């Protein structure tokens, strides 16, 4: 179960907005600080660990930059959108960010409401309105990667990569 305050974003939220191109070679902390700076200045100072993004159609469109990692590093626990761009979805898996598609989710939530996500039956509930939506199930192997911190921690646990110094 994942529960958190909702931040809403419209259709076609681009990875350029999530993680600006001039930050591609910056540190992860600098990237985290730059999330949504162009369209929502100061957002990273308002978001709390465990918050949830509710998006419209084609969330995460654009490049394959590590925007999902930056959202996770900003404290976002999950992205639930009408639809999620394929590159962004794969990066969410790789970087350990829960990403679900749930038709009707954008209309079902206002910013500041609370989303409750069940990863057992892939439902998304609005705590305030009690609207319950069915998200598209994620294959167990991909869900395990999302919940386990992503691909690198998975490969480290399997002994296929050396643990990165200073990373839990």
Give the confidence band of 165 by pLDDT, cuts at 50, 70, 90: confident
Residue 64 reports pLDDT greater than 90: no
Q: Is residue 19 part of a domain?
A: yes
Summary mean pLDDT of the chain = 95
Residue 58 is predicted with a pLDDT of: 97
Burial class (CB in 10 A: 0-12, 13-18, 19+), 3: middle
Give the confidence band of 168 by pLDDT, cuts at 50, 70, 90: low
Residue 163 is predicted with a pLDDT of: 84
Cα separations (Å) of 145 from 23, 32, 98? 26, 21, 9
Q: Is residue 149 part of a domain?
A: no
153 three-class SS: helix
Burial class (CB in 10 A: 0-12, 13-18, 19+), 122: middle
Q: Is residue 148 part of a domain?
A: no
Q: Is residue 65 part of a domain?
A: yes
Give the confidence band of 166 by pLDDT, cuts at 50, 70, 90: low
Over residues 18-24, the mean pLDDT reads 94
125 three-class SS: strand
Q: Is residue 167 part of a domain?
A: no
Over residues 63-78, the mean pLDDT reads 94
Residue 167 is predicted with a pLDDT of: 59
CB-CB contact of 38 with 64 (8 Å): no
Q: Is residue 113 part of a domain?
A: yes
Give the confidence band of 141 by pLDDT, cuts at 50, 70, 90: very high
Structural domain range at position 15: 2-138
Cα separations (Å) of 120 from 55, 108, 123, 135? 21, 21, 8, 11
CATH of the domain at 40: 3.20.19.10
Residue 133 is predicted with a pLDDT of: 98
pTM of the model: 0.93
Q: Is residue 143 part of a domain?
A: no
Cα separations (Å) of 105 from 2, 17, 33, 39, 135? 16, 21, 27, 22, 9
Q: Is residue 145 part of a domain?
A: no
Number of domains within the chain:
1
CA distance 40 to 71: 14
Give the confidence band of 160 by pLDDT, cuts at 50, 70, 90: confident
Query: Which of residues 159 and 92 earns the better pLDDT score?
Result: 92
Over residues 43-71, the mean pLDDT reads 96
């Amino acid at each position: 179960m994942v529960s958190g305050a909702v931040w809403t974003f419209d259709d076609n939220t681009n990875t350029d907005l999530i993680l600006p191109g001039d930050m591609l070679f910056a540190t992860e902390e600098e990237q985290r600080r730059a999330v949504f700076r162009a369209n929502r200045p100061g957002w990273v100072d308002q978001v709390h660990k465990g918050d949830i993004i509710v998006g419209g159609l084609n969330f995460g469109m654009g490049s394959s930059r590590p925007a999902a990692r930056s959202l996770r590093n900003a404290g976002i626990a999950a992205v639930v959108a009408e639809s999620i761009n394929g590159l962004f979805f794969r990066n969410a898996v790789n970087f350990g960010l829960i990403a679900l598609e749930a038709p009707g989710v954008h209309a079902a939530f206002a910013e500041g409401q609370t989303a409750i996500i069940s990863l057992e039956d892939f439902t998304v509930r609005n705590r305030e309105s009690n609207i319950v939506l069915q998200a598209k199930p994620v294959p167990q192997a991909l869900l395990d990667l999302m919940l386990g911190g992503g691909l690198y921690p998975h490969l480290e646990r399997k002994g296929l990569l050396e643990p990165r110094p200073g990373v839990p």
